[in-house]
Amino acid sequence: MNQTTINEGKTMAVISYITVIGLLIAYIANNSKQNQYTKFHIGQSIRVWILSIVISISLGLLSSLLGIHFLEALRWLPFIFAIMGAVNAYNGKVTKLPFIGTIGE
């Protein structure tokens, strides 16, 4: 990926990690431009938000049905991945996130 593509898509790539609304804004804005850098980070962001939903539902069920509360720290995992992705996007890196970066390819 060339530096011009990265520079043009950097803002929307970072925005995609800031809540689901940011993801939707980046997706809609990139729909007409088709910037590959932004597209990569939108894909990574989608994985982060899907992970967030899966963890929330799973931990909600585990804690309410079984009383298992020690796993609650896992709720921070998507937030940490979102920060990592936003930092990578800001720094112009095309780096897959650990564990979830290759899911769905």
Block means of pLDDT (10 residues each) for the chain, length 105 residues? Answer: 92 95 96 94 96 91 77 88 96 93 78
Q: Determine, yes or no, domain membership for 66.
A: yes
Whether 99 maps to a domain, the answer reads no
Neighbours of 37 (CB within 10 A): 24
11 touches 89 (CB < 8 A): no
Q: Confirm whether 100 is domain-assigned.
A: no
**Is residue 81 in some structural domain?**
yes
**Is the sign of the CA dihedral 75, 95, 99, 16 positive or negative?**
positive
> What domain range is 19 assigned to?
3-90
The pTM for the full model equals 0.88
**pLDDT tens, residue by residue, 11-27:** 999 999 999 999 999 99
* Residue 105 domain flag: no
Report how many domains make up the chain: 1
